Chains A and B, each alone.
Chain A
Amino acid sequence: QVQLVQSGAEVKKPGASVKVSCKASGYTFTNYGINWVRLAPGQGLEWMGWISAYNGDTNYIQKLHGRVTMTTDTSTTTAYMELRSLRSDDTAVYYCTTTVTSHWAFDIWGQGTMVTVSS
Chain B
Amino acid sequence: QSALTQPASVSGSPGQSITISCTGTSSDVGSYDLVSWYQQHPGKAPKFMIYEVSKRPSGVSNRFSGSKSGNTASLTISGLQAEDEADYYCCSYAGSSSFVVFGGGTKLTVL
Residue contact A112 to B45, C-beta cutoff 8 Å = yes
Residue contact A47 to B102, C-beta cutoff 8 Å = yes
Residue contact A101 to B46, C-beta cutoff 8 Å = no
Q: Which residues of A contact B101 (CB under 8 A)?
A: 47
Central interface residue in A35, A39, A112, by most chain B CB within 10 Å: A39
Distance in angstroms from A46 CB to nearest chain B CB is: 7
Residue contact A46 to B93, C-beta cutoff 8 Å = no
Residue contact B45 to A111, C-beta cutoff 8 Å = yes
Using a CB-CB cutoff of 8 Å, which residues 90-115 of chain A contact chain B? 95, 97, 101-112
Q: What is the interface residue range for chain A against chain B?
A: 20 to 34
Per the bound structure, the CA–CA distance linking A45 and B104 in Å amounts to 7
Q: Which residues of A contact B1 (CB under 8 A)?
A: 61-63
Q: Mark B70-90, 1 if CB is under 8 A from A, else 0.
A: 000000000000000000010
Residue contact B46 to A95, C-beta cutoff 8 Å = yes
Chain B contact surface mostly:
strand
Residue contact A47 to B100, C-beta cutoff 8 Å = yes
Per the bound structure, the CA–CA distance linking A61 and B102 in Å amounts to 13
A-B contacts at CB below 8 angstroms, number:
71
Residue contact B57 to A106, C-beta cutoff 8 Å = no
Q: Which residues of A contact B52 (CB under 8 A)?
A: 102, 105
Per the bound structure, the CA–CA distance linking A105 and B102 in Å amounts to 12
Residue contact A103 to B93, C-beta cutoff 8 Å = yes
Using a CB-CB cutoff of 8 Å, which residues 47-61 of chain A contact chain B? 47, 49-50, 59, 61
Q: Which residues of B contact A46 (CB under 8 A)?
A: 102
Per the bound structure, the CA–CA distance linking A106 and B35 in Å amounts to 11
Which of the residues A44, A50, A63 comes within 8 Å of B102, measured between beta carbons? A44
Tell yes or no: B65 within 8 A of A by CB.
no
Q: Which residues of A contact B40 (CB under 8 A)?
A: 39, 45
Given contacts A45-B102, A59-B99, A109-B45, are A104 and B89 in contact (CB under 8 A)? no
Per the bound structure, the CA–CA distance linking A50 and B89 in Å amounts to 19
Distance in angstroms from B2 CB to nearest chain A CB is: 12
Q: Which residues of B contact A37 (CB under 8 A)?
A: 46, 102
Which of the residues B36, B47, B104 comes within 8 Å of A44, measured between beta carbons? B104
